[in-house]
Structure 1
Amino acid sequence: MTLTADIFWSFRSPYSYLATRRYRALMEAYDLTLNLRPVYPLAIRQPDFFEKNHPSWLRYTFTDVFRVAQYLDIPFGFPNPDPIVQDIATRQIAAEQPYIYRITRLGQAAARVGKSLAFCDEASRLIWGGAKGWHEGDHLAEAAARAGLDLAAIEAVIEAEPDALDAEIAANQAALEAAGHWGVPTLVFDGEPFFGQDRIDLALWRMEQKGLQLR
């Protein structure tokens, strides 16, 4: 019997990026369906989060994501441009956000056809893998193609239905919170949340308890 789990995930989260190819490998190796459900990052949902957080939080996060990437042998570099326009010195979030709405809506449009995990994996490799100008040229079109999608087709969806997609993204956030967490990446299996890129093995253990089988 195929097991199913949801993944709640953000394009601005480096930990989401560091987890995604491992989620994808799980679905390839096991009789498992993983539904990636994108959410908007804290910078959109709670813009004052960074201003209120402990002063050392950002420095520690930078240190940790680089070492996790090194440990997992995953290419890593800060996004250029950042999906969120933010003054790092003051931590203030800009009123205009030209990137995060487009890319998150593309992820949700991909989710409608069951390809969000593949698309978000390929797109996040552009954003967090050290490339420059991920939003320009043919980069996203090629990422979409690798995920089995036509970028022009999903771009047409986000142009036609931005409000509907935002409602679906809000529903993803509500489902995450209903499952008992608020952060990303979180895998939810059988109502149980597993938060963080360091809980994938624990989630696998739980799914194996419930009968997960290799393909």
Structure 2
Amino acid sequence: MALNADLYFSFRSPYSYLAIGRYRELSETHTVDIALRPVYPIAIRDPDILFTNALQGRYIFIDAARSAQMLGIPYRWPRPDPVVQDMMTRKVSEDQPYIHRLTRMGQAAQKRGKGLAFADEVSKVIWSGAVDDWHEGEHLAEAVSRAGLDLAELDAEVTAQADALDAEISENQDALTAAGHWGVPTLVFEGEPFFGQDRIETAKWRMEQKGLAER
């Protein structure tokens, strides 16, 4: 019987992007079912605490690129950024045309049993640097199709059920807090949080103690 875990994830987090493909592969090759639990990034949830130390943002930019290079994962900061924000002043715009749509679609995809695939394929389009203007043309539609879903269907649910999806996303955030963490990516397995793209092997080690095996 498969084990179960939850992956708390943000479409604005470079570390979530660096983790998602590996967690998807783990769920496909080993006996663990990982549910995507999308949350809004801190820039949306609590912008007043984002990069309160100017060194934080600089370090993340450097470390994410370095980590991607080490892992051999294509990477470039998104164009456009999923969160509309002035990086010089750190001011977050009130108009956010991307992150709400992405996060709500991620929640809708998980309800269809395709959460990890959706997050992986969409994140590649946003973060890999393979395309410019990921939000235009057919880039998202093709990514969603590769995940086995239909973009028009997801967008229809996002439009019609925005409040309900946001309530579920809020529950995800509450569950992450209850598990003992605040950041993403965090995998929670049997109540134990594993934070960061560099804790995947640690999480796998723990699951192997509980019977994780190859499928």
Distance 1:89 1:54 in 2: 13
Matched with 2:81 is 82
Distance 2:107 2:59 in 1: 31
Match of 1:155 in 2: 155
Matches of 1:212 and 1:175, distance apart in 2: 24
1:136 aligns with 2:148: no
Instruction: Output the CA distance in 2 between the equivalents of 1:167 and 1:2.
Output: 28
The question of 1:145 aligning with 2:128 is answered no
Task: Give runs of aligned pairs for residues 15-164 of structure 1, distance below 5 A.
Answer: 15-50=15-50, 53-130=52-129, 131-164=131-164
Residues of 2 paired with 1:83 and 1:187: CA distance? 22
Equivalent-residue separation in structure 1 for 2:37 and 2:113 (angstroms): 10
Rounded to whole Å, the distance in 2 between the matches of 1:136 and 1:109 is 21
Q: Is the 8 A contact 1:79 1:127 kept in 2?
A: yes
Q: What is the match of residue 167 of structure 2? A: 167
Letter in 2 for 1:161: Q
Please, what TM-score do these two structures have when normalized by structure 2?
Answer: 0.98
In structure 1, stretches of 5+ residues that fail to align are none
User: What amino acid is the match of 2:88?
Assistant: A
Alignment: residue pair count: 214
Partners of 1:72 and 1:26 in 2: CA distance: 16
Which stretches of structure 1, 4 residues or longer, exceed 2 Å deviation after superposition? Answer: none
Whole-angstrom CA distance in 1 between matches of 2:60 and 2:158:
32
CA displacement 1:70-112 (0-9 Å, x = unmatched): 0000000011110101001111111111111011111111011
Partner residue in 2 for 1:202: 202
Contact 1:187/1:193 (<8 A) preserved: yes
5+ residue gaps, structure 2:
none
**Partner-residue secondary structure (3-state), 1:48:** helix
* Alpha-carbon shift at residue 124 of structure 1 (Å): 0.6
State how far apart, in whole Å, the 2-side matches of 1:14 and 1:171 are.
Answer: 23
Shift in Å, 1:50: 2.5
Q: Kindly provide the CA deviation profile for residues 11-40 of structure 1, in whole angstroms up to 9, marking residues without a partner as x.
A: 000000000100011011101100011000
> Tell me, what secondary structure is at the counterpart of 1:4?
strand
2:191 is aligned to 191
2:14: which partner in 1? Answer: 14
Q: Secondary structure at the match of 1:152?
A: helix
Tell me how far 1:54 sits from its aligned partner.
1.3
Question: Are the equivalent residues in 2 in contact too, given 1:48–1:92 (CA < 8 A)?
Answer: no
Provide the aligned C-alpha RMSD in A: 0.8
Give the secondary-structure state (helix, strand or coil) at the position aligned to 1:56: helix
SS at 1:173's partner residue? helix
Does the 8 Å contact 1:50/1:92 carry over to 2? no
Give the CA deviation at 1:155.
1.0
- Aligned equivalent of 2:5: 5
